Copies of this chain bind each other. A is one copy, B any other.
Amino acid sequence: MGVDAPATVGTLLRDVDTPALLVDLDVFESNLKRMATDVSALSIDLRPHAKTHKSADIAKAQIESGAVGVCCQKVSEAEALVEAGISDILITNEVVGTRKIDRLAALSKRAKIVACVDNVANVEALENAAGYSGQTLDLLVEVNVGSSRCGVDPKTAVALAQRISESPHLRFSGLQAYHGSAQHVREFAERREAIASASAVVSDVVNQLQIAGIQCQRVTGAGTGTWQFEATSGVYTELQAGSYIFMDADYARNRHEPIEQPGNFGHSLFVYATVMSTPEPGRVVVDAGLKSMAFDAGMPLVVDDLATQYERPSDEHGNLILSKASMAYELGDKLKLIPGHCDPTVNLHDWYVCVRGDVVEAIWPVTCRGALF
Contact = CB atoms under 8 A, between A and B. Distances in A.
Nearest to A341: B290
Interface string A101-120: 00000000000000000110
Q: How large is the interface on A (under 10, 10 to 19, 20 to 34, 35 or more residues)?
A: 35 or more
Contacts of A97: 17-18, 274, 332, 334
A80 B350 CA distance: 15
Chain A interface mostly helix, strand, loop or mixed?
A: loop
Q: Which 4 A-B pairs have the closest CB atoms?
A: A350-B370, A150-B277, A96-B276, A290-B344
Of A278, A285, A369, A370, the most chain B CB neighbours within 10 A belong to A370
Interface stretch (A191-199, A203-211, A228-236, A310-318): A310-318
A93 B316 contact: yes
A240 interface: no
A19 B313 CA distance: 25
B94 A276 contact: yes
A45 B354 CA distance: 44
A148 B278 CA distance: 11
14 contacts: A1-B2, A1-B350, A1-B365, A17-B100, A73-B315, A93-B276, A96-B331, A97-B332, A149-B277, A149-B312, A150-B276, A150-B317, A290-B296, A315-B347
Given A94-B276, A315-B73, A290 B285 contact: no
A137 B312 CA distance: 31
A271 B179 CA distance: 27
